[in-house]
Structure 1
Amino acid sequence: MEPIFLAPYFQKKIWGGRKLETQFNYDIPAGDIGEAWVISAHPHGPSTILNGALKGKTLDVAYKENPEYFGNPKEPVFPLLTKILDANDSLSVQVHPDNEYARIHEGELGKTECWYVLSAEPGSYLIYGHHAKTKAELKEMIESGDWDHLLRKVPVKKGDFFYVPSGTIHALTKGIVVLESQQSSDTTYRLYDYDRVDAVTGEKRELHLQQSIDTTTVPATDPKLNIVTTTQGESKVTEYLQPPVSPFFYVDKLDVVDELQLSRGEHPYVLVSIIDGAGQLVVDGQQFGLKKGTNFIIPNQVHDYTLTGQMAAILSAPVEN
């Protein structure tokens, strides 16, 4: 059985740039490309399978038609989405709903996410959290545009990791590139967009002030992560997220030096994105070349696999309910 390799789906964004081409050597469309949906079964941008018996299918179709590759899951939709984001300009200040609010109002999953920072220009920062103590204070500060007092700014550098549960006010700002692991959702509520005007429509982008107030967690609190690093020879595995802190996905970083032997374990399948370096994936004696920007899934039929070479990867897997 082979791993499932995937081709990204690219999204144009008002804040996008060209770093997906220059940093990852992706063949991206013309214009401002903000996002590569590198492992996606979301209908707004599904990835296409590049190899094996499922070659040519989009991941959403494969998930429905070939459930055995994913451990015959109970979830009706593929629950995870991996993206690479190029913030050539600042994203809107935004918040995402939880599962219940999104189900009622949007008909899809909520959106909890996390970021691994791939690059950041000197002086870069995130919007991460807020200073309002009550919902009434939050509403007053949003409606009056008191952003300097409301928004919390956090310095950021390459290699940083941030967990962003639903209900967290947040934004990437200019000069940052991240790999984002998230629930498979495309629901975003904007509360501030710097009064930008869309080049096509000539109008300001829509804001969602009431939804933002409804879904923002007050007061804001920083998640307490239990980050654990283990070594295997010179290679190491850093566990960033696991239950109960993260109820929807596991996220690890793999740093491969020569060889790293891995197991799918109890996960029904595993998502892997190579974020630096190059090497090989070995499955049942078969070797598959890997380089920065390669994305694949270890399906349910594969239990043990090995990474060789000099590279770094982000791994994620669903939490089964």
Structure 2
Amino acid sequence: MNQPLFLTPVFQERIWGGTALRDQFGYDIPSDKTGECWAISGHPNGQSTVRSGEFAGKTVGELWDQHPELFGHYDSPVFPLLTKILDANADLSVQVHPDDSYANINENGELGKTECWYIIDCDEGADMIFGHNALSKEEFTSMIEKGEWSDLLRRVKIKPGDFFYVPSGTIHALCTGTLVLETQQSSDTTYRVYDYDRTDADGNTRELHIDKSIDVTTIPHTAESVEPKVDSRDGVTITTFVEAEYFTVHKWEVNGHASFVQDKPFQLASVLSGAGTLRVQGEDHVLEKGMHLIIPADVETFEVEGQVELIVSHV
């Protein structure tokens, strides 16, 4: 093999979705309410497939099960990470995610969901909900029951290039006019706390999960500060946003020519802007905005040439 795995993403329609995934990345989206691009995914609710080469047509989950050597024989029953791009054309529900132990018991063995966001783009003056103001579970429960949302929820201003680490147990919501690359555990478990009393075309509200939300929310709110580390060397500036239990996330800004050594079991990469060439064992692969790929374990060294910005993650 010894070559990168370029992937075809899966798109998910959401009531809060829009057209930014088409407008900014040129994707062929299913509708004008497309909220999520599952770019690198082995989750059964939406699996990316390999575009070409020896494993063309295989899903990430199939490769994980059938070819553990591609992933350095990393010890996990499922492909552990999930990369998404989210188009919040309207406010997302206010939500919280469980940790591994709670999800394992209450969600049929699903992983918990710790995630992080890189703000690709957002409206001028945009904000998001990140955390809450309750000091005890009793106060948290009371404020929910009374609908005291403006007092309960914390809002923070955002701008393009910002990065947020969102551990399980964190109350959060992306808000209108935000385009985000999300790196997360491979989980599709979300507990909705509040959905602005929205209704669908038939007048139905979406299901809330108040009891589970109260169970899993971290109270009082604690925010882990993100202190990016920047390393510049020949042809590349590498910003490390987070090194956490489930994933490490970097931004690679290549300007010219850069060489890399694969010192991880595998790496996930998404091209945010620009264009370039990925060279592996003398073979060139085009890198263009909106491409997503896995650099497997057997790619020992590689080079990137051009003017290109990537978000890269690994376990």
- TM interval, shorter chain, is over 0.9
State whether structure 2 residue 308 is matched by structure 1 residue 317: no
Q: Give the Cα separation in 1 of the matches to 2:121 and 2:159.
A: 7
Give unmatched runs, 5+ long, in structure 1.
none
CA drift of 1:234 comes to 4.9
Partner of 2:255: 257
Give unmatched runs, 5+ long, in structure 2.
none
User: SS where residue 300 of structure 1 aligns?
Assistant: coil
Q: Give the Cα separation in 1 of the matches to 2:193 and 2:38.
A: 24
Of 176, 182, 185, which residue of structure 2 is paired with 1:183? 185
Deviations 1:257-305 (A, max 9, x none): 012222221x100000000111111111111001110000000111211
State whether structure 2 residue 276 is matched by structure 1 residue 274: no
CA drift of 1:31 comes to 3.4
Q: Give the Cα separation in 1 of the matches to 2:147 and 2:301.
A: 53
Q: Give the Cα separation in 2 of the matches to 1:198 and 1:72.
A: 45
Of 286, 290, 293, which residue of structure 1 is paired with 2:290? 293
State the TM-score, normalized to the length of structure 2: 0.98
Given residue 67 of structure 1, which amino acid in structure 2 is its aligned partner? Answer: P
CA drift of 1:306 comes to 1.3
Q: How does 1:1-321 map to 2 (within 5 A)?
A: 1-106=2-107, 107-199=109-201, 201-242=202-243, 246-265=244-263, 267-318=264-315
Given residue 294 of structure 1, which amino acid in structure 2 is its aligned partner? Answer: M
CA drift of 1:2 comes to 1.0
Q: Give the Cα separation in 2 of the matches to 1:25 and 1:317.
A: 26
Give the number of equivalent residue pairs: 313
Given residue 96 of structure 1, which amino acid in structure 2 is its aligned partner? Answer: H
Q: Which moved more, 1:49-58 or 1:224-233?
A: 224-233
CA drift of 1:142 comes to 1.1
CA drift of 1:190 comes to 0.3
Q: Residues 253 and 310 of structure 2 are in contact (CA less than 8 Å); yes or no, is this contact kept in structure 1?
A: yes
Q: Give the Cα separation in 1 of the matches to 2:224 and 2:155.
A: 16
Deviations 1:121-170 (A, max 9, x none): 01210100111001111111111110110000000010000000000000
State the TM-score, normalized to the length of structure 1: 0.96
Q: Which moved more, 1:233-242 or 1:305-314?
A: 233-242
Given residue 166 of structure 1, which amino acid in structure 2 is its aligned partner? Answer: S
CA drift of 1:67 comes to 1.1
User: SS where residue 95 of structure 2 aligns?
Assistant: strand
Q: Give the Cα separation in 1 of the matches to 2:247 and 2:39.
A: 17
Q: Give the Cα separation in 2 of the matches to 1:279 and 1:217.
A: 43
- What is the aligned-residue RMSD (CA, Å)? 0.9
User: SS where residue 54 of structure 2 aligns?
Assistant: helix
CA drift of 1:241 comes to 1.1
User: SS where residue 173 of structure 1 aligns?
Assistant: coil
Deviations 1:162-217 (A, max 9, x none): 00000000000000000000000000000000111122x43000000011110000
Given residue 150 of structure 1, which amino acid in structure 2 is its aligned partner? Answer: L
Q: Which moved more, 1:227-236 or 1:176-185?
A: 227-236
Identity of aligned residues (%): 50
User: SS where residue 52 of structure 1 aligns?
Assistant: coil
Given residue 306 of structure 1, which amino acid in structure 2 is its aligned partner? Answer: E
Q: Residues 163 and 226 of structure 2 are in contact (CA less than 8 Å); yes or no, is this contact kept in structure 1?
A: no
Q: Give the Cα separation in 1 of the matches to 2:154 and 2:235.
A: 38
Which contiguous aligned blocks of 4+ residues in structure 1 show a shift greater than 4 angstroms? none
